[in-house]
Amino acid sequence: MYTFIARRLLSTIPVLLVVAVLIFLMLRLTPGDPAAILAGDAASSEQIAEIRKSLGLDRSIPVQFGIWAGNLLQGEFGRSYFYKMEVTQLIAQRIEPTLALATLTILIAVVVSVPLGVIAAWRFGGWFDRALMGFSVLGFSLPVFVLAYLLIWLVSLKLGWFPVQGYKRLAEGFWPFLHHLVLPAITLSVIYIALIARVTRASVLEALGEDYIRTARAKGLPEARVLVRHALANAAVPIATVIGIGIALLIGGVVVTESVYAIPGLGRLTVDAVLARDFPTVQAVILLFSFAYVVVNLLVDLSYVVFDPRIRY
Amino acid sequence: MDPQALSVESANIARHESAWQRLHRHWSVRIGGVVLALLVLTALAAPWLGTVDPTLFDAASRDLRPGQSGEITTLDGEMIKHRFLMGSDSFGRDIYSRVIYGTRVSLLVGIATALLALAFGILLGLSAGYLRWLDGPLMRVMDGLMAIPAILLAITLVAMWRASLITVVVAIAITEVPRVTRLVRSLVLSIREEPYVEAAVSLGTPTLKIMFGHILPNCIAPLIVQGTYICASAILVEAILSFLGVGLPPDIPTWGNIMAEGRVQFMAYPHNLFFPGVFLALTVLAVNILGDGLRDTLDPRMARRV
């Protein structure tokens, strides 16, 4: 088991490295001289040369990558062109809303989708199953921002249950915080629910066909116990996997949702930075999101050991 | 996978039904196909559907409600009476015309992206699956690309290259290439062990001919299915990019752009968002349903996996 954990940990290093190289190259190949942009319009060519030298931009591309990666490891992402501050600081200011939104979304998605998937598998082919599969296709097809405006119009404007837009920090009180966060999280969770419910249904369905289910039923266990302790427990690995893979969808959705609901998080920051052509910020945020994705999937893989004692490696 | 459908599937195969006949019977292929065909017709016939040029605007006809009549100035400077079926936006442009013409852009982006991603994915996947020395390095790059969330990657690429139809298509295609590459590679790895490939190798058939003549034709069915899903996702991503203001230039009438323009006045004039939103959701839904149907009929192996 420890060799498995060690191997899995080591295998993420090449992926992270490739991600870093790709993002570095992407932004280096962008037209425009970063030194000139940092120096501002009034700078003389000597000043620009000075900044270029201090940033190491006069060196070869591999050396530049080395310097950049070294800075990253020390938590230095450079200076934002647009916000005129350290990118690290900028990210620290914006991370709370995004983390809160993502956490609440995952929570809602898992709590709603797993029972739905189990019931659909239990009543396979019935009306509930069909309705869920229909919803699942719809959930994949409904664009996040269309759904967002639909919900704002219905729930916020017509019913007045939630504020239309905006964000309250956790420090301003838990209830206002939650009140502003619920609708965006519901919006974002729909596609995630569609995804997880589909996989839960498929893997519980497969488990229900196994011999131990027949045995469990034969010895007279209550159906709920058969479903949860025997079928669902054995279907846990694919469900955990899809939750991990779904993080990519979630991150894409965060960018859109934060824009629609005017939440000052990292997703909103990405769009603003791209529009302002503020590449150090764009680079840092994309790197952060990608690393988060890789690390979450690493944790999911490691969790198999807990979920499935059969996996010993 | 449901056992019932599987048995139906094998019964159909046993009856030597052709793929076409199976396709025709499948309800989701029918529904998805018919809706999509209607959308293609709409896109082609856009000028004859009671539309005006989607770039026309008139200050006197701003923010009209759906169904209201107003006037609009043509390119020749002539004022004509026009009924704004879906209302007008804050520039006085006809939403109906923009939505109908937007169908063209969305379908074009979807199909072009799917073809481009498939072409590159096939090329890379065949290479990785067949040329063993290339496999490791190439797949590590693909793993890295897949770790960057698709929408973020597309946004950044478009921002780097300046937005245009071509850059948007290429950017979205790049996010899809790794998945196609993986699919083709895994298919190649299983197909290359088949006896007919071994036979071809022992006959001294050139590698290129084995790759494109023997292996590729056997990957077609899953690739068609994958292509359909890419098409749906590309239409969605283009709309998201345009909506965020980082996609196609605002003067091009796309559903995302119409909604980006309409979001400011969303509270007062929800129709600016409603109509393009419905078209977008309907199109993506139709393509996805078609994809599910194709998967069930063309590629039962994949259906079992999902």
Residue B84 CA to residue B81 CA, distance in Å, equals 10
pLDDT of residue B305: 43
Task: Please state which CATH class domain B25-303 belongs to.
Answer: mainly alpha
Burial class of residue A158 in the structure, from the number of CB atoms within 10 Å of its CB (0-12 exposed, 13-18 middle, 19+ buried): exposed
| Inter-chain CB proximity B159 and A256 less than 8 Å | no
- Please list, residue by residue across A96-115, b when 16 or more beta carbons sit within 10 angstroms of its beta carbon and e when fewer do: bbbebbbebbbebbbebbbe
Nearest to B148 among A164, A202, A290 (CB): A290
Q: What is the ipTM of this complex?
A: 0.83
B270 touches chain A (CB under 8 A): yes
| Inter-chain CB proximity A259 and B284 less than 8 Å | no
| Inter-chain CB proximity A137 and B153 less than 8 Å | no
Name the minimum distance, in Å, from the CA of B203 to any CA of chain A: 39
Q: What is the pLDDT of residues A240-260, one digit of tens each?
A: 888 888 888 888 889 989 988
Q: Give the C-alpha distances (Å, rounded to integers) separating A44 from A51, A56, A85, A300, B123.
A: 11, 18, 22, 52, 49
Q: What is the pLDDT of residues A137-149, one digit of tens each?
A: 888 888 888 888 8
| Inter-chain CB proximity B145 and A293 less than 8 Å | no
pLDDT of residue B64: 65
Cβ contacts of B157 on chain A, cutoff 8 Å: 26
Cβ contacts of B153 on chain A, cutoff 8 Å: 286
Domain assignments of chain A as residue spans, ordered by start:
23-76, 92-307
Q: What is the pLDDT of residues B21-63, one digit of tens each?
A: 666 667 778 888 888 888 888 888 777 776 667 776 666 666 6
Cβ contacts of A138 on chain B, cutoff 8 Å: 285
B1 pLDDT higher than 60:
no
How do the residues of chain B divide into helix, strand and coil, expressed in percent and rounded to 5? 75, 5, 20
Confidence of residue B304 (pLDDT cuts 50, 70, 90): very low
Tokens 């859109």 locate to A256
The low-confidence residues of chain A, meaning pLDDT below 50, are none
B157 touches chain A (CB under 8 A): yes
Residue A165 CA to residue A186 CA, distance in Å, equals 14
* Best residue of A26, A30, A146 to probe chain B, by most B CBs closer than 10 Å: A146
Burial class of residue A154 in the structure, from the number of CB atoms within 10 Å of its CB (0-12 exposed, 13-18 middle, 19+ buried): exposed
CB pairs under 8 A between A and B: 133
Nearest to A252 among B151, B157, B289 (CB): B151
Q: What is the pLDDT of residues B199-235, one digit of tens each?
A: 888 888 888 888 888 888 888 888 988 999 999 999 9
The closest alpha carbon to B86, from B57, B66, B108, belongs to B66
The region of weakest confidence among A13-17, B6-10, B71-75, B200-204 is B6-10
pLDDT of residue B306: 41
| Inter-chain CB proximity A286 and B245 less than 8 Å | no
* Best residue of A129, A145, A153, A191 to probe chain B, by most B CBs closer than 10 Å: A145
Q: What is the pLDDT of residues B76-100, one digit of tens each?
A: 667 667 666 677 776 767 778 788 8
B182 in helix, strand or coil? helix
CATH topology of domain A92-307: MetI-like fold (1.10.3720)
